[in-house]
Chains A and B, each alone.
Chain A
């Protein structure tokens, strides 16, 4: 039973490029959460999605960041026109339902912006 999958594990981009991070939840999980961990800081919630719906995006920066979870395929976190401050580890977590279930984390994507 595969866990949460994320790819790529490491991503290097130059300032101004786009970054696409992918997350496949655990089998049977339909809820996906994205978190960001800046160097020497704690995990910060970004967005919560269900299939084809954004439920809570209160942690997403207002510009350049977007997320989707289509009916088929992985969830995508997209960062346009990356800046050095976007360098961080981006973790995806999934859960079967919302109110009582544990979130299980993927291995993360480490984004480095040159």
Chain B
């Protein structure tokens, strides 16, 4: 079966660093994506990993370990506008279908 797990909620302080974990069990793994979604809005692409290791993009970094079925999204220098849901999604097979986790709602406090 296909299963993606991430924490439901997290809270962090403005200016701090937060790590959002994602574990997955899927067949035909073909890449892992992180999206940000503010309430009532569309998911916005943040990062993509297909090989093991760390991808860095400004304040956001994403890590993948395929052997462990594990990824994390690291957000540095948190800002209030980073309060949103963060969606972990695995691309399965060659059709491009994305399988999403439930999302992690991050609240950034002053």
Contacts of B103 in A (CB 8 A): 42
A side interface size, CB within 8 A = 28
A102-B33, A102-B48 given; A55·B95 CB < 8 A: yes
Residues of B within 8 A of A (CB): 30-31, 33, 35, 41-45, 48, 50, 87, 89, 94-103
A74 to chain B, nearest CB (A): 16
Contacts of A103 in B (CB 8 A): 33, 45, 96, 98
Closest partner residue, chain B, to A99 (CB atom): B94
Q: A31-B96, A103-B45 are in contact. List 14 more A-B contacts (CB 8 A).
A: A35-B98, A41-B102, A42-B101, A43-B43, A45-B98, A48-B96, A56-B97, A58-B97, A99-B96, A105-B44, A105-B45, A106-B42, A108-B41, A108-B42
Q: 15 A-B contacts, Cβ less than 8 Å apart?
A: A35-B98, A43-B89, A44-B100, A45-B97, A45-B99, A48-B95, A48-B97, A55-B95, A59-B97, A91-B43, A99-B96, A100-B31, A102-B33, A105-B42, A106-B42
A25 to chain B, nearest CB (A): 13
The residues in A between 22 and 51 inclusive whose CB is less than 8 angstroms from any CB of B are 31, 33, 35, 41-45, 48
Contacts of A41 in B (CB 8 A): 102
State the CA gap A59–B98 with chains docked (Å).
11
A87 at the interface (CB under 8 A from B): no
B24 to chain A, nearest CB (A): 13
Closest partner residue, chain A, to B33 (CB atom): A102
Residues of A within 8 A of B (CB): 4, 31, 33, 35, 41-45, 48, 55-56, 58-59, 91, 93, 95, 98-108
